[in-house]
Every structure is written in C-alpha cells, then in structure tokens.
Amino acid sequence: MRILKSDKEIAAFLNVLKNRACGGNQDIEQQVKEILHNVRRHGNRAVLKYTRTFDSLKTNRLAIKPAEIARQSAKAEGKVVKALRLSAKRIRAFHEKQREQSWIFSEKDSILGQVIRPLDRVGVYIPGGRASYPSTVLMNVIPAQVAGVGEIALCVPTPGGEINPYVMAAIRLLGVKEVYRIGGAQAIGAMAYGTETIRKVDKVVGPGNIYVATAKRMVFGEVDIDMIAGPSEILVLADGSGNASFIAADLLGQAEHDEYASSILITPSRSLADAVKRELAGQLENLKRKEIAEKSLAAYGAVIVTKTLKDAAEISNAIAPEHLEIMTKNPGKVLQMIRNAGAIFLGEWTPEALGDYAAGPNHTLPTGGTAKFSSPLGVYDFVKRSSLLGFTKKGFGKLARTVKTIADAEGLEAHGNTIRIREGTKRR
C-alpha cells in the first residue's frame, strides 16, 4: 500500500479515484440495454431465458413461495437468526426516528401544507452469487416498512438453484411474502416494467454488480431508484494517537469486498502511517480473501500523509467517502471540519462493521463522491410529498394582482385569465 506525501502524488491518486467512480463500459451498457428491451417486450419469457443463461436455473417458477421461504430459513443456524433479530430491532428503532409528518398551517384566509404519503409498491434487489447478504434484506426492507409502503417485492438471484438460508431467514423475519428467484439486469427490468407474474413497482432499491447498477440507471424515469451504488470505500482520519492495528483491520474490512474497493488512511503522523503499513502486511497473511484485498489495496488504497489534521479533513471532504472513521483524541472536534461523508464513525471503538450489521443506521450509502450531494437510504426514500393549498375568496383576492402581474410578465395569458375570470374582469 503506497504512502503519499507530495501534492502531485495526492492529486494523481484522487484522479484515479475519480476515474474509478465515473468509468463506464460500453459493452456492458449495450448488453443491459438489450436485456431490458427484451424483458419489456417479452415479459416472463425473456426473464426466464436470461435466468437460465446466467444463473443456470432450470425452472418456470419465478416466485419463491412462503412455504419454501420457511423451509429454507429453517436451515439457518439459530445463533445467526438470533443475531439478525437483534440487528433488525436496532435498525427499525433507528429508522422510526426518520418518520416525517404531514403538516398544515393556517393563515387568515388560506391553508398551506405538505402531505406525506408512502409509495404504493417498491421492488428490492438483494445481491446473490459469490456471497449472500441477509443484512441487505434488513437495511432495504425495514425503512420501507417503517414508511408504510403497501407492497414490497424482493428479487433474489439463486445461481444453480441454491437458495441462501440466511437470506430466507431475514425475509421471513420481516414477513415479506412476495419473493422472486431472479437476479441481474433482467430482475431490474421485471420490477421496472412488470411481467405477467411480477407487477410493476414504483421504485427499485438495493445494491448489485455493474449489470444491476447499469440497469437501474437505465430504468430511472420509468421508476424511481435509490442510487447508483459503486464499489465500497472507507477513509480513516487519524492523528498520532490512532491504533495502527485497529486502523489496518478496518481498511482490510473494505478491501476484502472486491478488487475495486477503496481503503484510505489520511494522517499528519508519519510514524502512524508506517505502523499501519506494517500492520496491513501482517494482517493480510491471515485473510481468506487475501488476493482480493491485495489487489484492492494496490489499485485503490493509499496512506496520505498531510501537514495538519485540517489538511487531512479537507482531502476527506474532496473524496466524500462512503464510510468515514475518525480516530483522533477528540473526534467531535474533527467532526466539525467534515462536510461530506455517507456515514461517520466516531472513535476507535466504532468500526465500520458495526454500521454494516447491527448499529442501526442504514448501510446503503452514497459512493464515488456522491456523498457531496446525496444521503444514506432511509425512510424518506420511501415516501412522496404533496403540497397542499386552499384559499377563500378573500384570500384569493389578496394574491390576484400579484399572480396576474407575474403571469403577464412571462407572457402566459391563460394563466392570468384563471384569475381574471374569477374576478369577472376578463373581456369577452
């Protein structure tokens, strides 16, 4: 893992991160475009065709029925189910705090307000394949349930017909009954456009590989989406008091995701930088996913040594990391310098893995610098807002002249006439 000190080295590395986030693949885009077109046109037939091709799944049954969910979830170890239950409780409690309320305020001759309503129907994509993620079920379904979404449909790929019992246990724990054994771009298309079996949703959420992310981008507008999730990333801000073994462990916790994950330490302490580099080398030797982590650290990992902690915070704000850990003597003071981050972890006893699984806040976070303008998944992603207006005749009269003046200035005669006709001043 490289140690960077000069402005030139740091700028070059930041450019690598930028290209990693923005890079596209025309071949993949063309494949996804074709898949979505065929799913829209041919429905179940296309979904089944792609599922057989990509997942080697020989079945005409798209749905995983509640009885099968129960049967598969029974295979899950009891201690894991217990852990999922505690995690779900904490996630639900956190997201209950995000509830938004409709509001109305009255003026003398009018009422104004905002009406909050949940989405009618949401589709959730749960990744599967090399690994399966019951935590993703909890993080995507619970805020939708808290928001009051009426219908939640899940798509869970089952390559070779393998159904993950822990994913099924999470699904059963939350009481979701509409589940389909499909993945990839075809699953996104099925939820976005609808098929003979899967009814169209209003919004698609959940992470996935580059094919899933590309499909979500392409169906946006037909339906809403949560975000375009890129490779995972962590940034640790530390002063000389940072624990090198803790920091190295947390960096590797992201690096093991895949070879595109990014793990960065920024510190004004050269001695800490050297200590973390040594720790990384030692801890790597014991990792089952050593090869993946090594590739990730080599391509997108770095230790950046700055002159001051303030400089470190400014570089962090420029990167706008998905996960930001602050390991300093006074994390609260450093927090005041932070403007951009998906989730912020304060102190050495708050590793990012707590947020992944059990702390309560959502682990679906903005990546690739999008934390500069977007937020973690939450209850607010599953509601819509309607403005509310109501005027008496007297209240109408108080604003009539203002509306006519602006409408006429914009050259929109018919807008002005909606006022004049009510006033009885329009010439016939």
Active-site residue, selected from the candidate residues 178, 294, 322, 348 = 322
What residue type is assigned to position 51 of the chain?
Answer: T
CA distance 368 to 378: 19
- Dihedral, CA of residue 135, residue 256, residue 348 and residue 324, to nearest 10: -80
CA distance 274 to 321: 23
Active-site residue, selected from the candidate residues 95, 257, 323, 363 = 323
**73-80 contacts: CB < 8 A, separation 24 or more?**
73/165, 73/168, 73/169, 73/171, 73/172, 74/165, 75/165, 76/165, 76/166, 76/168, 76/169, 80/134, 80/166, 80/169
Establish whether 323 is a catalytic residue.
yes
Nearest to 228 by CA among 23, 10, 426: 23
Nearest to 316 by CA among 229, 251, 235: 235
Establish whether 95 is a catalytic residue.
no
Nearest to 173 by CA among 94, 78, 97, 99: 78
Burial class of residue 14 (count of CB atoms within 10 Å of its CB; 0-12, 13-18, 19+): middle
Cβ-contact 182, 208 below 8 angstroms: no
Query: Could you give the residue numbers annotated as active site?
Result: 322-323
